[in-house]
Amino acid sequence: MLKGSLVAIVTPMHEDGSLDLDALKNLIDFHVEAGTDGIVIVGTTGVSPTVDVEEHCLLIKTAVEHSAKRVPVIAGTGANSTREAIELTMHAKALGADACLLVTPYYNKPTQEGLYQHFASVAQAVDIPQILYNVPGRTGCDLQNDTVIRLSQLKNIVGIKDATGGIERGTDLLLRVSKDFAVYSGDDATSLSLLLLGGHGVISVTANVAPKLMHEMCLQAAAGNVVAAREINAKLFGLHQKLFVEANPIPVKWALQQMGVIKTGIRLPLVNLSAQYHAVLKAAMQHAGVIESA
């Protein structure tokens, strides 16, 4: 079971919108050095909806090869088509990913039975550890806890990224699933609360720009050092908020560009961060200590 701070890593791009694989490799090195516990490639923060299948597989391949087992790689392979999700998951397994992250099938508005059949079909088709991903605020599709419990009985469905931000829902899951089923927070602002309730880690946007602090917060929470974990979270809380002033990953890519880690490339329909948010995000970065104060 993977635990701790798993970064939902950005997909670096050149100014023309083409993939910047060298920058991705540098980012992976940055996270290995910082102690990040896992790399989640081509997820929401990795702008999976704007890359084609060939690019999607290339990003997974690059992450797996460059990480070279220094850190686990979890490949985003979800889709709103069950057939496509199976194909992407097969590719990820063949490329050597350690696990896959499968978002709920967006736009279709399936029933809970349809969601169960979707994830069960992928699990039965591909023998690789699979993590469910529920983010109804983006997908318009909510995977209910009762369905998660059913799915947790399948041997290679090993966890869930719960990005609802609902502590009550997270608590209910933790009380009902087996101890070997991982519950990860997918909401940075409430991640510490879920960790202290027994959550196994966080799949984090904030970890892109503050990987050492996110890793340390997870360590302190797991060790029961509540005061220390709260102190770290206080440094990070501005980032937890301001990295979402516009749709993710617009703010986090801008923040990384300010740190000199990546270029400003981004693909339509996403555009660069609006000027009105530059000052507030920079202030949050300074408070967290990821850039120097003016």
Domains of the chain, first to last: 4-228 (3.20.20.70)
Mean of pLDDT values over 151-176: 96
Q: Maximum Cα–Cα distance for the chain, whole Å?
A: 54
Mean pLDDT, residues 210-238: 98
210 CB-contact burial (10 Å; exposed 0-12 / middle 13-18 / buried 19+): buried
DSSP letter, residue 69: T
Residue tagged active-site, from 133, 184, 242, 253: 133
Report, as an integer, the average pLDDT of 45-66: 96
Give percent above pLDDT 90 in the chain: 98
Q: Decide: residue 127, CB within 10 A, 0-12 exposed, 13-18 middle, 19+ buried.
A: exposed
Cα–Cα distance list, 115 to 144, 146, 151, 173 (Å):
10, 11, 10, 17
**Stretch 13-34: mean pLDDT:** 96
- What confidence tens digit (pLDDT) does each residue in 57-107 have? 999 999 999 999 999 999 999 999 999 999 999 999 999 999 999 999 999
Query: Residue 133: pLDDT above 80?
Result: yes
Note the pLDDT of residue 294. Answer: 67
pLDDT at position 15 is 93
Peptide bond into 249 cis (omega under 30): yes
Is 84 in a helix, a strand, or coil?
helix
- In the prediction, which pLDDT does 293 show? 80
Q: Which entry of 61, 93, 161, 242 is annotated as an active-site residue?
A: 161
Measured CA to CA, the distance from residue 244 to residue 141 in angstroms comes to: 20
- Dihedrals phi, psi of 183, to nearest 5 degrees: -115, 110
Report d(CA 146, CA 150) in Å as an integer.
7
For residue 183, give both structure tokens: 């519950």
* Cα gap 290→210, rounded to integer Å: 6
Name the band, by pLDDT with cuts 50, 70 and 90, for residue 1.
confident
| 235 classed as catalytic | no
Q: What is the pTM of this model?
A: 0.96
pLDDT band at 212 (very low <50, low <70, confident <90, very high): very high
253 part of the active site? no
Judged by phi (left if over 0) then psi (alpha if -120 to 50, else beta), residue 103 lies in: beta
Mean pLDDT of the chain: 96
| Cis peptide preceding 251, ω within 30 of 0 | no
Which pair of tokens denotes residue 235?
A: 């440094």
